[in-house]
Amino acid sequence: MAKEGVFERILITGAGGLLGGSMAELLKRQGRSFVALDHRSCDITQPGDLERAFERHRPTLVLNCAAHAKVDRCEREPKQARAVNAQAVGSLAELAARFGVFLVHFSTDFVFDGRADKPYRPDDLANPLSVYGRTKLEGERLLGRSRLDRWLIVRTSGLFGRHGACFVATILAKAKAGRTIHVVNDQVTQPTYADDLSDATLRLTGLGKTGVWHLANVGPTDWHNFALSILHEYGIKADLRAVTTERWRQMRKDQAIRPFRSVLDCATSFEALGLPMRTWHEAIKDYRTLS
């Protein structure tokens, strides 16, 4: 690793996904040296794949953007969710310690139960309600207990972006197809644009920050209002209907339990970066322009 958090060789795992694609695009735009590995070129659940990647590319910084992030599917695939979200993180941490690498891992607001009446700080007690949340928390703990002494965990929420499936793309697709759209109005989140998360994360690494941090775009909202704002931004009329979580679970009985209010306290992150991230309203405009 170069001085003052300037990393010469960067490796992205999960580069074929929503966040990994955004991270690769940003690094390319910055003219930085990096290797982007998707699932086909490096399955992080296979220790042999990981070791070969470290041996071949000799990274100084690893950005682990790989995740089993389909929350409802995790309920049906707990072993696979644990393999990707937890056990692979432990393997990455051990390799990072052996090779002297700084490891950045991304986690989620779903490690919390959403019962607090204030935004969650990084040191607040975690209490996940779903397989997804539990496996992501296990991954955090495996990293924290590893021999690696330089690591960064970035928790975020409501991720959307241009490089994969997300809530914004789903709402737009259903609206354009003329379908009735049901969205819950009693779950509060903090939508986060993958491009903004990528930029803020790289700035944190440049500052040499370690430990657990929260990063999200500014402004909590419920999912129905988020959907309404998306449609308004695109000027699309649609049959959008608000439903309660209770009603939604009656309609979709295979749903994972989600936190009702998983807003993240990002104040420490914003102070470190010198300014807050922009609002998700502003980010949606960028998403529309660049998509």
Helix (H) or strand (E) holding 143: helix 131-144
In this structure, the dihedral spanned by the alpha carbons of residues 157, 195, 217 and 67, taken in order and rounded to 10 degrees, is 10
Closest to 102 in 3D by CA, of 135, 129, 62, 141: 62
The active-site residue, picked from 120, 132, 234, 287, is 132
Question: Within a 13 Å sphere around the CA of 215, how many CA atoms are in the beta-carbon half?
Answer: 29
Note if 120 is an active site residue. no
Question: Where are any strands of DSSP class E within 14-99?
Answer: 34-37, 61-64
Radius of gyration of the chain (CA): 19
Q: How far apart are CA 68 and CA 118, in angstroms?
A: 28
For residue 217, the SS3 value is coil
Side-by-side strand order, sheet with 61-64: 34-37, 10-13, 61-64, 102-108, 151-156, 211-214
Structure tokens at 16: 């074929």
Residues with a catalytic annotation lie at: 132
